[in-house]
Structure 1
Amino acid sequence: METATFSQVFAVKEFKVLFASFALMIVGDGVKMLALSVLVYTSTGSAGLSATAYMAGWLPYIFGGMFLLSLADRLPSRALMVTGEVVRVVVCLLLAFGGLPVWAMLALVLVSGLFAPVFGAARSAMLPEVLPGDAFVLARSLMGVVSASSQVAAMAVGGTFLALTGPSGALAVTAGLSAVAAFVLRYGLPYSRARGEKRHGAVRSTLRVNGRLFTDTRVRTLLLAQWVPPMCLAGAEAMIVPYLGGTGQAGLVLASAAIGMAIGEFVVGRFVSPATRERLSLPIAVCMGAPWLAFVFMPGLGVAAVLAALAASGLSYGLGLQRRFLEAIPEDVRGQGYGLLSAGLMTGQAVGAALIGGLGELAGPHVAIAVSGAVGMIMGAVLLSRVR
């Protein structure tokens, strides 16, 4: 298989549409959650509720992933993605100008977030339909680059609009970004038919197919191999704020991690051949945990930022699993397969942060970070050896 190039990937109109709408979504979601957190804090003065608001957009992933993912195959992909953007427009405008009490704002974000895995799964399932072979893997790489870059951009854009217009204005900007994305998707993509059949209800079908996928040894191993190392990475990153004493310096370290992730995805996706990429997935995954071990020696801010960037660059190991995962998922449930992958990633990162956070309370943040790295190395080696 030949290595794909950027010119080949961006020559496909459908990918350009998916790429642009994904970037708008990531930036918009980052601004939305930041603005909502500020809005809740200014309304209540509660740091706890503010943190809850910031995380509320991610919490429903586990429930949407468990009960609703079959919709990604039962309904046309373009219609689902457009619907997802319209839902974001409505939610942002209600949060900004609806005059809702705090409990209602949080409930609105939680309920609307239940369908986020479905909308994301529709996009992921469409990629291999428009980009075959290694072009699909390069496209996944570019999505990883834009995800990391857009998270950093979201913080900058969100902070700017919060300063200029306040949280309501920032939410209105997010609604505008989603409206643009909906327009681009609707008129930039051709009509697509549903992949799956509607034999049973959505919840029943989701449970049945999730069970079918997870009892397949090959699929289960590939899922765990893509869930567990990022879970350990998230646990280590969750300790950066307490490690640095709760200061604003943590933002520099976390931004460095996002930049490292973008560089790793870019280099491995574009400049490493498909066969080599698959051979390197195991050593890259193992090495991803190694930089965190150095936190036993309690490095300063600059060294911590470099270590975090090196660790996050190792997330590129997942590119070596993309072909195998695509081949392992039956085409008629491809949307649900990718939705399950995404939901597990989100859930695993939350679990990793909670577990390592508990260890940090007992042993100190620097020890917890090192332990997270060690566990990631061991589990990465075990799981990817089974994949091989």
Structure 2
Amino acid sequence: MQGATFGEVFAVKEFRVLFGSFALLIGGDSIKMLALSVLVYARTGSAGLSAAAYMAGWLPFIVGGLFLLSLADRLPPRALMVTGEVVRAVTCLLLAYAGLPVWAMLALVLVTGLFTPVFFAARAAMLPDVLPGDAFVLGRSVLNVASASAQIAGLAAGGAFLAVAGPSGALATTAGLAAVAAVVLRAGLPYRPARGTARAGAVRQTLRVNRRLLADGHVRGLLLAGWLPCVCLAGAEAMVVPYLGGQGQAGVVLAAAAGGMAAGEFAVGRFAAPGLRERLSFPLAVLLAVPWVGFALGPGMAWAAVLAAVATAGLSYQLGLQRRFVESVPEEVRGQAFGLQSSGLMTGQAAGAALVGALGELIGPGAAIAVAGGAGILVALALAGVLRPAAERSADPGR
């Protein structure tokens, strides 16, 4: 297979539309959750409720991923994505100006968030249609970098909007971004029919297809290979703030981690041929874990930043799995398959942060980070049979 280039990817109008609307979505959501957290804290003075408000937008991924994902294949993708942006805009305006009590604000975010995995799945499933072959893998790489960049930009912009216009103004800004994204999607994407058909109720069909996907050993292995190394990474990153003890120092290390991820995605996506990219999946998954073990030596901020950047460059291991995943799932349930992939990843990262956080209470943050790194190495070794491409496994005389 011939490798694609970034120029070829961005030459496709539909991808430019998906890319721009995705950046608006991620940046807007970062502003929304920050503004909602500040608004709840201003009203209640409760740090716990403020933290709950910040996380409320991500919790529905568990429920939506389990019960609603079949909608991503049963409905036209453009209509789903536009609906998602309209729901976000209306939700933000209600949060900003409806004068809802705190419990109603949190309930509104949770209920509307149940459909977020469906909207994400529709977008992800359209990408192979827009970018065939290796261009799809490169497109995923570009969106991964855009996601990290948009989160950072969204948080920075959110802080500025909060200072100037307060939480309500920041929420209104997110509503405006969502409205712009809806117009961009509606005007820029052509109509595509639904990928699948409704053979049962949405919940029943979602459960049935999830079981079908997880029962397929090859698909299950690729899902686990995408989830488990990132569970260990999330656990390690969750301990950076308590390890350094200062928000400013932790910010430097986490920014270095984001930079390492972007550099790895760019280098592997741009300069590695498709076959090499797949052969690199296993060593890069190991690289994702090894540097965190170095925190057992108690590095200062500078070395901690270097270790974090080197480790997160290994996240590009996922690029070598993308083509195989698309080819392994039936086209009529591709939306649900991508939704299951992202929902499991979100859930796993939350679980990893919680588990390593609990461990950090017992043995200290630095030791917990090192344990997370060691666990990541063991996970990569256990998944070697999936991470290594079939041709490489068949050529190994030890197998």
User: Would the TM-score normalized by the shorter structure come out above 0.5?
Assistant: yes
SS across alignment from 1:248? helix
- 1:34 corresponds in structure 2 to 34
- 1:265 corresponds in structure 2 to 265
Q: Deviations over 1:249-305 (max 9, x none)?
A: 222221221121111111111111100000000000011111101111111112112
In structure 1, how many angstroms separate the alpha carbons of the residues matched to 2:302 and 2:178?
A: 36
Q: Does the CA contact (< 8 Å) of 2:282 and 2:387 recur in 1?
A: no
- 1:216 corresponds in structure 2 to 216
Gapped runs of 5+ residues in structure 1?
none
The answer as to 2:73 corresponding to 1:106 is no
1:155 positional shift: 1.4
Larger mean Cα displacement after TM superposition, 328-337 or 241-250: 241-250
- TM-score, normalised via structure 1 length: 0.99
Code of the aligned partner of 1:86: V
- 1:175 corresponds in structure 2 to 175
Code of the aligned partner of 1:326: V
Moved over 4 A (4+): none
1:101 positional shift: 1.1
1:386 positional shift: 3.3
- 2:157 corresponds in structure 1 to 157
Q: Does the CA contact (< 8 Å) of 2:231 and 2:349 recur in 1?
A: yes
1:246 positional shift: 4.8
Code of the aligned partner of 1:273: A
Q: Deviations over 1:66-90 (max 9, x none)?
A: 0000000000000000000000001
Q: Does the CA contact (< 8 Å) of 1:149 and 1:259 recur in 2?
A: no
1:387 positional shift: 4.4
- 2:75 corresponds in structure 1 to 75
- 2:65 corresponds in structure 1 to 65
- 1:243 corresponds in structure 2 to 243
In structure 2, how many angstroms separate the alpha carbons of the residues matched to 1:157 and 1:386?
A: 40
1:377 positional shift: 1.3
Q: Does the CA contact (< 8 Å) of 1:256 and 1:309 recur in 2?
A: yes
In structure 2, how many angstroms separate the alpha carbons of the residues matched to 1:204 and 1:163?
A: 46
In structure 2, how many angstroms separate the alpha carbons of the residues matched to 1:336 and 1:138?
A: 21
In structure 1, how many angstroms separate the alpha carbons of the residues matched to 2:31 and 2:303?
A: 29
- TM-score, normalised via structure 2 length: 0.96
Code of the aligned partner of 1:155: L
Q: Does the CA contact (< 8 Å) of 1:281 and 1:384 recur in 2?
A: no
In structure 2, how many angstroms separate the alpha carbons of the residues matched to 1:261 and 1:166?
A: 32
Gapped runs of 5+ residues in structure 2?
389-399
In structure 1, how many angstroms separate the alpha carbons of the residues matched to 2:102 and 2:263?
A: 39
In structure 2, how many angstroms separate the alpha carbons of the residues matched to 1:76 and 1:177?
A: 23
In structure 2, how many angstroms separate the alpha carbons of the residues matched to 1:340 and 1:248?
A: 35
In structure 1, how many angstroms separate the alpha carbons of the residues matched to 2:386 and 2:177?
A: 42
- 1:197 corresponds in structure 2 to 197
Q: Deviations over 1:98-126 (max 9, x none)?
A: 11111111111111111000000000000
Q: Does the CA contact (< 8 Å) of 1:124 and 1:338 recur in 2?
A: yes
- 2:2 corresponds in structure 1 to 2
In structure 2, how many angstroms separate the alpha carbons of the residues matched to 1:70 and 1:386?
A: 26
Q: Deviations over 1:172-193 (max 9, x none)?
A: 1111111000000001000010
In structure 2, how many angstroms separate the alpha carbons of the residues matched to 1:124 and 1:381?
A: 29
- 1:333 corresponds in structure 2 to 333
In structure 1, how many angstroms separate the alpha carbons of the residues matched to 2:358 and 2:198?
A: 44
Q: Does the CA contact (< 8 Å) of 2:64 and 2:114 recur in 1?
A: yes
- 2:49 corresponds in structure 1 to 49
Q: Does the CA contact (< 8 Å) of 1:218 and 1:387 recur in 2?
A: no
- 1:350 corresponds in structure 2 to 350
Q: Which residues of 2 match residues 309-328 of structure 1 at below 5 A?
A: 309-328=309-328
In structure 2, how many angstroms separate the alpha carbons of the residues matched to 1:334 and 1:191?
A: 18
Between the two proteins, the alignment pairs up a number of residues equal to 388
% identical aligned pairs:
70
Code of the aligned partner of 1:134: D
